[in-house]
Amino acid sequence: MIDRFRVHRLNIPLVRPFRTSFGTETVRDVILVEAISSDGTSGWGECVTMSWPGYSYEYGDNAIDVMTNHLLPSLRDCGDDPYDVRAAMQVVRGHPMAKTALGTAMLDVWLRERGQSLASFLGATKEFVDSGVSVGIPPSESVPDLLAEVEGYLAAGYQRIKLKIEPGWDLRPVAAVRAAWPDIPLQTDANQAYQRSDGEHLALMDEFGLLLHEQPLEEDDWYGHVLLSRACATPICMDESIHSVASADSALALGACSIINIKPGRVGGYLTAKEIHDLSYDRGAPVWAGGMLETGIARAANVALAALPGFTLPGDTSASDRYYKVDVTEPFVLEDGRLRVPTGPGIGVDPIPEVLDDLTVWSTELTLLG
């Protein structure tokens, strides 16, 4: 039985600035939630918010407030069953990243007490998952700098390259990468940076044989994505638009996309992420695991999820050193371009105590009694 939580807030410098169409990060504002049972077992979850509401309306300070003042009170009488935990938190509308952090920490305890891995619980079928890498927009906006970065990732063994794009930084860098490496799996990610009127422009990239264009339009522009799916031979993938099983069902049924990026933090946890996988798998629609610059805590859980059979495209399940010189857990390391699926109880990893202490800038303890 869970009787208290600790919230740990960390600042972890990135190995290089990570720029997308919505902003640049140089230090990752990380929130880890530790659920502690009455017998002293700890479970861990990660809140993948950013420090400001750029990618999502959720952000660090907001998530801590929601967890403390709204989600924890909803859990007082629900017990530890993962599905009961998810149902209890539905009294709070939205805030999936905060829900994922609490729910995953409690799920981790529940699984550890049963000696079962998250991968086994979810129904994983793989021992390793193919690893792709997300390449941000170079601060210099220099194509040679981009090519040098991509070359380094390919030399490290990454099996797929994803290029962040925005208006003014799209055709030229994609053409350059494709010319340099004609056969690598390559895709783009716009993070909602384009308009419906850009369909003809995006279609100019069809010649590059891309795996997909990820989230070109605003998350609520469903019909716009239908139009782009018709305008482009390159498949359209939805990311920020997918918040639930129902939204995934609608996206596929309407033809707004044919591929789905599954991020547990965006959909409210690993139970819902698995359900979206199952729906997509039944429809024959490929899915892949997105990333949010996670530490080893969420990375471990994401790799377990990505080991399900419907994850047929390499995801953003990069090695720890893609983002951090020092991870809070033992680092995830590429093995022939893949990451090993954790097999230990729960998520299969724990923070290294001295590293956690060194990176933590704030912490607090919370109880289910308020």
Q: Known catalytic residue: 274?
A: no
Q: How many CB atoms lie within 10 A of CB 231?
A: 17
State how beta strands 338-340 and 128-130 pair.
antiparallel
- Give the Å distances, CA to CA, from 231 to 86, 199, 253, 270, 352: 39, 6, 18, 34, 49
Query: Which residue of the set 162, 263, 274, 325 is catalytic?
Result: 263
Contact 300, 349 (CB under 8 A): yes
- Gap between the Cα atoms of 63 and 73, Å rounded: 14
- Gap between the Cα atoms of 105 and 44, Å rounded: 4
Contact 88, 78 (CB under 8 A): yes
Contacts with 169 (C-beta within 8 Å, 6 or more apart), sequence order: 137, 141
Q: Known catalytic residue: 164?
A: yes
Sheet containing strand 2-20, strands side by side: 42-47, 23-37, 2-20, 360-367
| DSSP 8-state class, residue 197 | G
- Give the Å distances, CA to CA, from 364 to 4, 34, 73, 89, 299: 11, 10, 16, 21, 23
Query: Which residue of the set 99, 126, 162, 164 is catalytic?
Result: 164
- Give the Å distances, CA to CA, from 185 to 133, 158, 203, 211, 267: 11, 10, 18, 7, 26
Residues with a known catalytic role: 164, 263
